[in-house]
């Protein structure tokens, strides 16, 4: 570990980092949208799609970070082209976690439902983060201990009662068996999949949905949005009710992080059903 490791930011600095994350998420969107409707799709080693918009948005964000925070580390969805411009993960006090385009399949097919996520983490978890929502142009953001915001207006989650409009956001289960509890949710609640996990979580914080569940999540999908959920008054855990943080960034290797988020009422309700049906699944 370097002896000149930067000191941890004071609480008041978290809000400034939030504003920077907002600007970076906006920059990522402005860069990506230039390719909308004309994106060329290639495949990564894991067979997931990527476009030049993903690469261009990430490059634009990292260019700014390299100049403004050369002593910070970065963790990104796409490969780093110039890793030497950034501090090594594990030696830096702060690490920026970037998803330059969440919803690449939508983007590639001309569907304007996608997001850009930028978060900054310390040893305890996300410190600040922002999600740019391409569907509305809104920026959802949060700073640890300082609340959540939508376009700089305070964002406070409403703990709605469960009713006929209760909505659960569900991601794809193509590579995994659907848990029996989730199958039951499909009969009990409205469910949606918009193709962008960042938006699923941000929309829960904003009251556009009541809960979200996903098994195949990467750190860059959730780092900003989970903080927004928590700072807005919601609950975010893994699928067994455990804490998502801390996470050892230096040893993170794209492992899936299952998550359950929601209003306090819905999170408790869905977690109980998952625990009651633990081990069960539907083909």
- Residue 283, pLDDT score: 36
pLDDT at position 9 over 80? no
The pLDDT value recorded for residue 78 is: 86
- Statement: residue 228 has pLDDT above 60: yes
Do 266 and 222 fall within a single domain?
Answer: yes
Cβ atoms < 10 Å from Cβ of 253: 4
The mean-pLDDT minimum among 172-181, 186-195, 219-228, 252-261 falls in: 172-181
In a domain, 1, yes or no: no
- Domain C-terminal end among 155, 178, 205: 155
User: What total of structural domains would you count in the chain?
Assistant: 2
CATH assignment of the domain containing 147: 3.30.540.10
User: Which structural domain, as residue segments, surrounds residue 55?
Assistant: 11-155
Q: Do 134 and 206 belong together in one domain?
A: no
Q: What is the DSSP string of the chain?
A: --TTPPPPPPHHHHHHHHHHHHHHHHHHHHHHGGGTTSPPEEE-TTS-EEEHHHHHHHHHHHHHHHHH-TTSEEEESSPPS-GGGSPPTTTSS-EEEEEEEE-HHHHHTT----EEEEEEEETTEEEEEEEEETTTTEEEEEETTTEEEETTEEE----PPP-TT-EEEE---TTSPEEHHHHHHHHHSEEE--S-HHHHHHHHHTTS-SEEEESS--HHHHHHHHHHHHHHT-EEE-TTS-------GGG--S----EEEE-HHHHHHHHHHHHHTTT-EE-
Model confidence, pTM = 0.93
Q: What is the mean pLDDT of residues 249-275?
A: 96
Residue 230 lies in a domain: yes
Confidence of residue 148 (pLDDT cuts 50, 70, 90): very high
Q: What confidence category does residue 95 fall into, taking pLDDT thresholds of 50, 70 and 90? A: very high
Whether 136 and 20 share a structural domain: yes
What pLDDT score was predicted for residue 12? Answer: 57
Residue 82: the pLDDT is 93
pLDDT digits (tens, 9 = 90+) for 35-92: 999 989 999 888 889 999 999 999 999 999 999 999 999 999 888 889 999 999 989 9
* Confidence check: pLDDT of 280 > 60: no
Residue 11: predicted pLDDT: 52
pLDDT above 70 coverage of the chain, percent: 94
Of 121, 155, 189, the residue at which a domain comes to its end is 155
Does residue 220 belong to any structural domain of this protein? Answer: yes
């Amino acid at each position: 570990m370097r002896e000149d490791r930067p000191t941890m930011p004071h609480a008041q600095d978290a809000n400034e980092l939030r504003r920077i994350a907002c600007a970076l998420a906006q920059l990522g969107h402005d860069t990506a949208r230039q390719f909308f409707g004309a994106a060329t799709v290639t495949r990564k080693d894991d067979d997931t799609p990527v476009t030049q918009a993903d690469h261009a948005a990430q490059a634009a964000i990292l260019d700014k970070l390299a100049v403004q925070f050369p002593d910070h580390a970065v963790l990104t969805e796409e490969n780093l082209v110039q890793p030497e411009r950034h501090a090594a993960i594990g030696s830096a006090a702060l690490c920026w976690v970037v998803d330059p385009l969440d919803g690449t399949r939508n983007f590639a097919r001309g569907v304007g439902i996608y997001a850009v996520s930028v978060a900054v983490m310390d040893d305890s978890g996300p410190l600040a983060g922002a999600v740019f929502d391409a569907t509305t142009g809104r920026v959802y953001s949060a700073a640890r201990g300082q609340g959540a915001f939508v376009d700089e207006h305070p964002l406070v989650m409403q703990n709605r009662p469960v009713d006929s409009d209760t909505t659960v956001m569900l991601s794809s289960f193509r590579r995994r068996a659907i848990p029996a509890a989730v199958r039951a949710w499909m009969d009990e609640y409205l469910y949606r999949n918009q193709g962008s996990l960042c938006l699923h979580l941000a929309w829960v914080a904003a009251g556009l949905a009541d809960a979200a569940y996903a098994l195949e999540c990467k750190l860059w999908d959730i780092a900003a949005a989970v903080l927004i959920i928590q700072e807005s008054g919601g609950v975010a855990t893994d699928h067994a009710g455990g804490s998502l943080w801390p996470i050892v960034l230096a040893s993170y290797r794209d492992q899936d992080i299952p998550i359950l988020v929601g209003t306090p009422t819905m999170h408790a309700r869905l977690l109980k059903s998952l625990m009651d049906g633990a081990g069960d699944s539907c083909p």
